[in-house]
Structure 1
Amino acid sequence: MAVTLVGARLTAVSPSIDDFADLSIKIGTVTRAEPNDGARSPALRLWIDFGPDGVRQSSAKVTDRYAPEDLVGTQVAAVTGLEPLRVGGFRSDVLVIGALTPDGVVLLRPDGPVADGSDVA
């Protein structure tokens, strides 16, 4: 669901199926991770290898549960096909996804190794 700022309040806008046509969720391996000191909220800079799609970057607010060294070499799920944005001066190409819990975000990951760049069905 998209959110639009209208005056001083936020309103939800239902996306169409066309909004999702260029998006996919893929699995990639974190090859490098470090704090994103430029972000407004604590976050990590991640470099993620998506195999044939190459290495993409993400700024992820996952510091409540994960240190950079915990993530290097692990696979994560991420939304690809988004417009890149800058977070604290860092280019973020993909959106790493997880479940929100009282203790922070728990990353969504495969329960076994899969090829980097695999689509999530």
Structure 2
Amino acid sequence: MESDMKPEITWQDFEKLDIRSGTVLSAEDFPKAKNPAYQLTIDFGGLGIKKSSARITKLHRKEDLVGMQILAVVNFPVKQIANFFSECLVLGLYGKDETEITLITTTLPVENGRRLG
């Protein structure tokens, strides 16, 4: 288990993150990505539909992702990965290494676009 903590942040630092709930609409292979990844399309309710490149292929199957409610940071700048524009950062927890990522999901259904608080 990792014991190195990152530097302390202020409440104002945390408030800058906009973390929202969304439902995965589709998950496709992303063969042009440098590391194995999926291209996700996610519904964030009133925020609209956003796309994300997610390196979650080791523990998650594409067909299991559709309909899953996840959490993502939605206020990062768009990042181009190969020919794809990732519009949000899907959140997950590392396993034994940075290739084993478990998505953070909701325990009960919530409205898409709800803010983490």
- TM-score, normalising length: structure 2: 0.84
Q: Which has the larger radius of gyration?
A: 1
Identity %: 35
8 A Cα contact 1:45 1:60, kept in partner: yes
> Cα offset for 1:23?
2.8
Aligned match for 1:56, one of 50, 53, 77: 50
Structure 2, unaligned runs of 5 or more: 1-5
SS of 1:30's equivalent in the other structure is: strand
8 A Cα contact 1:37 1:88, kept in partner: no
Match of 1:116 in 2: 112
> Cα offset for 1:67?
1.5
Structure 1, unaligned runs of 5 or more: 1-11
Task: Note if 1:101 corresponds to 2:101.
Answer: no
Is the alpha carbon distance of 1:43 and 1:13 closer, same or farther for their aligned partners in structure 2, counting shifts above 3 Å?
Answer: same
Mapped partners of 2:9, 2:76: distance in 1 = 14
Match of 1:6 in 2: none
Mapped partners of 2:80, 2:91: distance in 1 = 18
- TM-score, normalising length: structure 1: 0.82
Mapped partners of 1:14, 1:120: distance in 2 = 20
SS of 1:116's equivalent in the other structure is: coil
> Cα offset for 1:87?
1.2
Is the alpha carbon distance of 1:86 and 1:30 closer, same or farther for their aligned partners in structure 2, counting shifts above 3 Å?
Answer: same
CA offsets 1:80-115 (integer angstroms, 9 cap, x no match): 111001112111000001110127101001101000
Query: Residue 42 of structure 1 aligns to which amino acid in structure 2?
Result: P
Q: What's the RMSD between the two structures over aligned residues?
A: 2.0
- After TM superposition, the runs of 4+ consecutive aligned structure 1 residues lying more than 2 A away are 12-23
